[in-house]
Amino acid sequence: MIHIDILTVVPELLESPLNYSIVKRAKERGLAEINIIDIREYGKGRYRQVDDYSFGGDAGMVLMIEPIYNIISKLKGEREYDEVIYMSPDGDLLNQGTANMLSCKKNLILLCGHYKGIDHRIREHLITREISIGDYVLSGGELPAAILCDSIIRLIPGAISDETSALSDSFQDNLLAPPVYTRPSEFMGWRVPDVLLSGNPKLIQEWQESQSLERTKRLRPGLTDL
Ligand code: SAH
């Protein structure tokens, strides 16, 4: 069972991506627990202020340290966290290895930034790991956090019905997955490769391995150097 607390100023953005399909099933099966915390509930004063102008006059608002410090302190009083992760475009690029590693953890905090980002002291003193989902900038950390959760939770044994299925996906073993087909075996004259219809498991496995290798070399040559 993995427990994930997600800190956000826009909780609505996380509702749909984490409430369907494999993630939903994993939650129902008691394999994952996701708790979404609205940073605004810890905001300052009557107006629940969570952001302020940045020192130095750069355009854009910055999430303040105090509400986030208070939430993280409270959470840490309730359980021991393996990682406090900040979703950030300048963090380590998310890959399958990171997802595998995090899927073995028990308790995670994910912090979503917004606007111009978060007070840097949060990153210096409270965050243990920073993760980016790619070299582009989004409006907030919610979609990246949802992506990270999905990539982790589907790896927990029992989340995917066919236990071996996640292991044969792309990037496990640094290889891309082979092509897959389903019925009908012929459509508009386009045929499924004969070998897949042969019923010979050894030949099929050899074909899948050679396709994996060929596709990896052609499409993602860098993967084989890892
Ligand atoms: N001013 C910042 C970007 C802020 S974008 C900069 O130039 O680096 C607002 C928030 O969106 C960030 O705090 C972060 O939590 C999230 N975010 C944006 N792009 C992201 C990415 N590629 N990966 C992970 N999080 C991202």
CA nearest 18: which of 157, 159, 143, 163? 143
The pLDDT value recorded for residue 162 is 76
Q: Which residues approach ligand 1 with their CB closer than 6 A? A: 87-90, 112-114, 116-118, 132-134, 136-138, 140-141, 144
Report the chain's mean pLDDT, rounded to a whole number.
95
Alpha helices in 6-141 (DSSP H): 12-15, 21-28, 65-78, 96-103, 120-125
Query: Tens digits of per-residue pLDDT, 22-62?
Result: 999 999 999 999 999 999 999 999 999 999 999 998 779 99
pTM of the model: 0.95
Query: Tens digits of per-residue pLDDT, 202-220?
Result: 999 999 999 999 999 999 9
- The pick from 13, 68, 87 for probing ligand 1's pocket by mutation, whose C-beta has the most ligand atoms within 8 angstroms, reads 87
- Percent of the chain exceeding pLDDT 90 equals 91
Q: Spell out the domain ranges in the chain.
A: 2-153, 170-225
Mean pLDDT of 70-74: 98
Q: Which atom of ligand 1 has the smallest separation from the CA of 90?
A: 8
- Ligand 1 centroid–CA 138 distance in Å is 6
Q: 7 — phi, psi (to 5°)?
A: -100, 125
Mean pLDDT of 109-122: 97
- CATH 1.10.1270.20 describes domain 170-225: yes
Query: Tens digits of per-residue pLDDT, 148-157?
Result: 999 999 999 9
Dist. CA 14–CA 4, nearest whole Å: 13
The pLDDT value recorded for residue 225 is 65
- Ligand 1 centroid–CA 36 distance in Å is 19
CATH superfamily, with its number, for domain 2-153: SPOUT methyltransferase, trefoil knot domain (3.40.1280.10)
- Ligand 1 centroid–CA 93 distance in Å is 12
